[in-house]
Structure 1
């Protein structure tokens, strides 16, 4: 089923274009200024082409031991590798109704688009291809006269992998212009689409708030990790972690439209909410760690681009020390 490319509800075309232009300007300026190098990526892989050898250091992957050099020098050496070129980066972009929310400087969906823009910018600089599958809630079905109304069917849109700056900008605009429908995308099915058809080893990125139960998407992520380097980008809003003391707070579920009134003046309620939210985020991190995916958390109330730069720097540092993650 193909998603229409329309403006999201509640977002005017002028604001959407202004936000997208601002995001692309931020990404280009900061990433080019802070991430220097001839071949940089958000999740640099070890590569498959043999490079130079160097002495073994604690933490190096023993599978990359250079035994001939080790035998000649009697000192343990590891073989460095050169990054592969012309790889594919595929994105699984979750645009469920819960992403159309934000109490910080940005909406969660805007941070999602920002992450897509950063990934596209880093990918095309190396001459690689980038593609995406975008999932969102479906259109609301007509209400039944008798019985409950069936839930909206998820909508998925596939954007083919292409190289080139113009094509990458088109992919970002297609993601930004996708309408968020009511309901939740099936994140497990969305991740599974990155395995079909089978592709050569590359980079797979899953961008979501991961509010769906971990048992729905955990196994597909583990399956994806068998063949690809996997990065999970979790988008979080501060109000999903704790509640402010503002008295009676009307809360609307963006996926169902249900309205609830919450008495935030109750300290026990706020404590239970914070504890439940912390347990939920810990379960998400635990499932991603078990799947072997790199995990990056972006918040709507912080400098998400600085968080991405720090993540890339940490990945580079770990890679130069020979570790796998």
Structure 2
């Protein structure tokens, strides 16, 4: 039984690897490389000055010693650390199409991880609910990435709720140097939604000052609109709270859609007010076109 389970896990991880490797084409890898720059410049060597070189790069010590003008050459310190902070609370198990929100999060995490590997960057993983369930320190290499994917897909959480402050505070403690931090969640927050959202804003601001923070919100279409199927019982996957709704009533469907839109608008405004970049993705739509478009937008903004 255990051997079969292991084979099934390896098969699923392999499927994710094949699929995401195919998606991480030259276009995406190039966009990733252009968007996420290194931490600075490293000294490479000195060479003789030629007309047109920047005189500010002249190495006066070598020039004085040789009697011939020399300049310093630098190369970009390209290596980055990518931190994937992925929400594995109970609400992520929901999905009305072929994939659940957690499965989409796993694929997106895989795409980002394989893009990082192609650029010789390190990847770390933080799986969280209302506490840090698992931390894998940043490393390089295919075997490390496959472990990251396996944990995203199959790790069994102990918690059910979401607390976005938890991964943000944690990454600020463990990442001593600036990293690119992806906060991946459905933003289904417990209690009063507005109060819960306001509580996380200070942590978003602090993390965005210390790191390059990017928020990815994964949603399902059934969270914003109801089908006309009569009476149904909706249950909050995290709190267990239930409510009965008559979906045949057009007013009920309209009010549900309006409330969902208000929550979405509130979330987007709050995140952007912290200066954090935001990308919204849906379980029933391909995620690669908007992800590539997001990279390209950041790239254009960086060269202005």
1:93-128 Cα deviation digits (max 9, x unpaired)? 111111110002210000111111011111111111
For 1:83 and 1:279, the matched residues in 2 are separated by 44
For 1:115 and 1:261, the matched residues in 2 are separated by 34
Note the 1:98-109 alignment, pairs <5 A.
98-109=91-102
DSSP-derived class of the 2:174 partner: coil
Is structure 2 residue 238 aligned with structure 1 residue 255?
yes
Q: CA deviation at 1:198?
A: 4.9
| Residue of structure 1 in register with 2:41 after alignment | 49
Unpaired segments ≥5 residues, structure 2: 43-53, 57-73, 190-195
| Residue of structure 2 in register with 1:132 after alignment | 125
Of residues 284, 288, 291, the one that matches 1:308 is 291
Q: TM-score, normalised by structure 1?
A: 0.74
| Residue of structure 2 in register with 1:233 after alignment | 216
Note the 1:9-20 alignment, pairs <5 A.
18-20=11-13
Note the 1:170-319 alignment, pairs <5 A.
170-181=147-158, 183-212=160-189, 213-319=196-302
Kept in 2: contact 1:42–1:119 (CA 8 A): no
| Structure with max Cα Rg | 2
Note the 1:72-151 alignment, pairs <5 A.
84-136=77-129
Kept in 1: contact 2:81–2:138 (CA 8 A): yes
Q: CA deviation at 1:21?
A: 3.3
1:147-167 Cα deviation digits (max 9, x unpaired)? xxxxxxx45211111111221
Kept in 2: contact 1:244–1:264 (CA 8 A): yes
Q: 167-176 or 257-266, which moves further after superposition?
A: 257-266
DSSP-derived class of the 1:297 partner: strand
Q: TM-score, normalised by structure 2?
A: 0.78
For 2:15 and 2:88, the matched residues in 1 are separated by 20
Q: CA deviation at 1:307?
A: 2.2
Q: CA deviation at 1:178?
A: 1.0
Kept in 1: contact 2:117–2:140 (CA 8 A): yes
Instruction: Tell me how large the CA RMSD over aligned residues is.
Output: 2.7
Unpaired segments ≥5 residues, structure 1: 1-5, 7-11, 51-65, 69-80, 138-153
Bigger proportion of residues as helix: 2
Kept in 1: contact 2:84–2:125 (CA 8 A): yes
Q: CA deviation at 1:46?
A: 7.5
1:167-219 Cα deviation digits (max 9, x unpaired)? 11211112212114452132212211000035112211101011222123221
Q: 192-201 or 112-121, which moves further after superposition?
A: 192-201
Which protein, 1 or 2, shows the higher relative CO under an 8 Å CA cutoff with sep ≥ 6? 1
For 1:198 and 1:170, the matched residues in 2 are separated by 20
| Residue of structure 2 in register with 1:158 after alignment | 135
Kept in 1: contact 2:232–2:247 (CA 8 A): yes
Q: 250-259 or 125-134, which moves further after superposition?
A: 250-259
